[in-house]
Amino acid sequence: MFSVAVCDDDELLCEKIEACLKAYQPQGLVRCESYYSGEKLYADMLRGETFDLIFLDIELKAMNGVNLGAKIRTELQNEKTHIVYISAKSEYAMELFAVRPLNFLIKPVQEQDIIKNLEKAIKLSQYYDDYIKFQRGSELYSVAYGEVRYFSTTGRKVEIHTTSVDLDFYGKLDDVQAKTPPGFIRIHKSYLIHEMYVKKWEYEMVVMNRDEQLSISPRYRKAVREMLMKRWREE
């Protein structure tokens, strides 16, 4: 079951979002829970409550949405939960890159935007059901693609940089790329990155969520730019 939290001190907005998700609830696909303060949501997550997606208001009173999102990413070390920010103002957008939100919606929120972001989050979360399998010596490994931040290669080895550990195995990055699901982007002969973990895009490089700076080689810059523009137009 896909678990959704709605966190906004506007109870009517919480009810509206829950109502939009009702089409999925009878099918047993979505569980939705509303919170009216960031503190309560954070306390529950600190105790082990998990959510696949959070619709999160920025202008919460004591613990605002930006601070809560930062705590989820840094203190809880949670990269799996997708966050869709909601605000009546647009000027916050640049402050949110460090939290790596799935999207940013301006109030009044439209039903089609709620459903679109839900479906996108469900699709991205399926990466945790798809695995890359490889061998190191006599040991076999299986890593969910959703845990992979990026792949790199040096010599005859491919290194997997995950959310918790780095591993390597003998292989070719071209062969790895041929099997990865959508969302992985080749930016260099030595780098295949998962866009979910990109903190900042620049013309010549990307900054990953742990502040690694990876070069975008001239060979890939045009393709990367065109692909990003296409995805942003679709959102």
Contacts of 10 by beta carbon, 8 Å cutoff, 6+ apart = 57
Q: Which domains does the chain have, with CATH numbers?
A: 2-127 (3.40.50.2300), 130-234 (2.40.50.1020)
Would you say 100 and 6 are in contact if contact means Cβ atoms under 8 Å apart?
Answer: no
- How does pLDDT run across 49-93, given as a tens digit for each residue? 999 999 999 999 889 999 999 999 999 989 889 999 999 887 765
Helices and strands per DSSP (H, E), number in the chain: 6, 15
* Predicted confidence (pLDDT) at residue 233 exceeds the cutoff of 80: no
**Average of pLDDT values for 36-50?**
96
Q: What is the pLDDT of residue 92?
A: 64
Q: What are phi and psi of 199, to 5 degrees?
A: -90, -35
Using alpha carbons only, what angle is made at residue 77 by residues 187 and 71, rounded to the nearest 5 degrees? 110
* Predicted confidence (pLDDT) at residue 235 exceeds the cutoff of 60: no
Q: What is the pLDDT of residue 227?
A: 80
pTM for the model? 0.69
10-19, 117-126, 212-221: which has the minimum mean pLDDT? Answer: 117-126
Q: What is the pLDDT of residue 169?
A: 94
* Predicted confidence (pLDDT) at residue 96 exceeds the cutoff of 80: no
Q: What is the pLDDT of residue 194?
A: 92
* Predicted confidence (pLDDT) at residue 143 exceeds the cutoff of 80: yes
* DSSP 8-state class, residue 163: S
